[in-house]
Structure 1
């Protein structure tokens, strides 16, 4: 590990207990910063309501840390929108945001569009499939942004159990993302959960970043933020344990391919190959190939979008 990263680990890795809630509220009042929480959601009716309710109870009613909770529904076919609204979130459908630009499937697409329907100086992203959710996930990663003006982006770090096996979650992280970061961007080798979906950043940073539309968004954002603002502007906070729905092996393969492609684009922006991933599924006639495109379209920095510029002027 680089000496720079060892220093960063000691100076920019914290615990949620390092910043008590009363300190965060005082910092928020002193700086006048506002906080938006965004949950990208697709068919998450079983979990999204509990997450929204916990944030609203702990960080809106009991302690006014969060100014808005927005669930961006990316085309759910279940009751995700109704459950989220009943729990107290403002629900916006992905396709109603920036309608002149047809939406494409993908988590990064939803996060990118969320900048147009939120107002917070600090934007906090939380995955909508978390179970046994604690509002510490939000207060933990928002905290350094409220108290330290030099910090621009904060990732949550946590244990990720796989069933009853402690520390065995995050398979794509360990098999794909961590090797890529250590080999090509060793300054980022200190991040415990580089692909984690819980992170917060200043709007002034997010609006300058391109957003991979799919699963590569977390890796792409981390790499691009490093180049834009430097390692010391990035941080991580230990929030405990993350429990969520795990995907099957084929889905993880597609995720891994998209992440690899996101890294590839950043290593060689002129790369024009449109790669595909072929996987196999047993049928009555043997193994049948299934081929998926893993080309990762990216959205430009939001600051370049006319509608966003107009909103800032208004």
Structure 2
């Protein structure tokens, strides 16, 4: 694998503050850009994310830095889809995109399916629950792809304070990163030790590269894309950009267990060769957790989705009759 023999990455080489939309627009050329926002029950924040990105980067004549803003709605039970559409996004239901391929709940599924409804040569993924952020997230993530042809994947780096249910700032986030992702990388991909936030939800990638990867359906999507890019392109294929600060909501420790299973499943699969076409979409692992009840500690078993989708480049186009 190319990445195993490559020099380790040494921290962020880019700062978002160094790049304006005007500077990047001069470098864009004929390449197109899609901003993709996966969302599940994010009616409180998704509209503001869409509106700010469109206001800063989308032009009515199509000559802006961003060509399309797409929200992939993952079975929301609130008004996420409606408010995102009202804010100006193209909105697609994940389960309705190529319905003949079936549907699985999960962030990775939304990102995988986004490839089937977007057109950009460059894909920028931005979470829908952003609270304290700026549209420099988009310019920062795009810059390395537009100025360095070797870069395939751009990972965000930021300070990560957490906000509790009352709006109070808590400890710095990143528990799954520190307890799961970083130890695994130290053991199995030490060349990625310089990646500050391997699980950051904001990242950008060339469509051609992403379309060649198998994609975990859940929260393993970020570490999978990171490892796959390193193994194929080496350290030169990955860039990091300092975005400053990103505030997000607190997650209960028991829900982090579900995320950790998906991250480990995706990473462990990449200890060997990932064989395109060998992915199992509906694979699950049972995670047993315990809570104290009337009779003592009682088990709670959750089926965690650990399947993967095949590379989008391998998909057959639907027949005219099924479209």
Trace 1:20-35 onto structure 2 (pairs within 5 A).
Answer: 20-28=20-28, 31-35=29-33
SS in 2 for 1:130: coil
- Could you list the per-position Cα deviations for residues 193-226 of structure 1 after superposition, in whole angstroms to 9, with x for gaps in the alignment? 1101100011110110100001111111111111
User: How many residues in Structure 1 have an aligned counterpart in Structure 2?
Assistant: 304
Match of 2:269 in 1: 265
- In the alignment, what sits opposite 1:252? 256
Secondary structure of the 1:158 match is strand
> Structure 1: how far apart are the matches of 2:133 and 2:207?
25
**Secondary structure class of the residue paired with 2:99:** coil
* Residue of structure 1 in register with 2:86 after alignment: 86
1:4 matched to 2:7: yes
| Residue of structure 2 equivalent to 1:142 | 142
Task: Encode CA deviations 1:113-134: one digit per residue, 9 max, x unaligned.
Answer: 0000000000011111111231
Per the TM alignment, residue 186 of structure 1 is displaced from its structure 2 partner at its CA by 1.0
**TM-score, structure 1 length as denominator?**
0.90
One of 296, 301, 305 as aligned partner of 1:286 = 296
Q: Corresponding residue for 1:302? A: 312
Q: Which residue of 1 aligns with 2:98?
A: 98
The answer to whether the Cα contact below 8 Å between 2:73 and 2:92 also exists between their aligned partners in 1 is yes
- What pairs up with 1:50-199 in 2 under 5 angstroms? 50-61=48-59, 64-163=64-163, 168-199=172-203
Alpha-carbon contact 1:51-1:133 (below 8 Å) kept = no
Task: Please report the RMSD computed on the Cα atoms of aligned residues, expressed in angstroms.
Answer: 2.5
CA, structure 1 residues 261+301, in 2 after alignment: closer, same or farther (shift >3 Å)?
same
After TM superposition, give the deviation of residue 261 of structure 1 in Å. 1.5
> Which segments of 5 or more consecutive residues in structure 1 lack a partner in the other structure?
none
How far the C-alpha of 1:172 sits from its partner, in A, is 0.5
Matched, 1:14 2:14: yes
SS at structure 1 position matched to 2:239: strand
Q: Check the 8 A contact 1:156/1:193 in 2, yes or no.
A: yes
Cα separation, 2, equivalents of 1:293 and 1:78: 24
Counterpart contact for 1:159–1:167, Cα < 8 Å: no
Q: Which runs of 5+ in 2 are unaligned?
A: 275-279
Structure 1 pair 96/134, CA: closer, same or farther in 2 (3 Å)? same
- Superposed CA deviations along residues 51-102 of structure 1, whole A, max 9, x for unmatched, are 0011011111498111000001010010000110111101001112111111
2:231 to 224, 227, 246: 227
Q: Which residue of 2 aligns with 1:202?
A: 206
Does the aligned pair in 2 maintain the 1:212–1:220 contact within 8 Å? yes
Q: Is the 8 A contact 1:35 1:121 kept in 2?
A: yes
Q: Give 1 or 2: higher helix fraction.
A: 1
Moved more, 157-166 or 96-105: 157-166
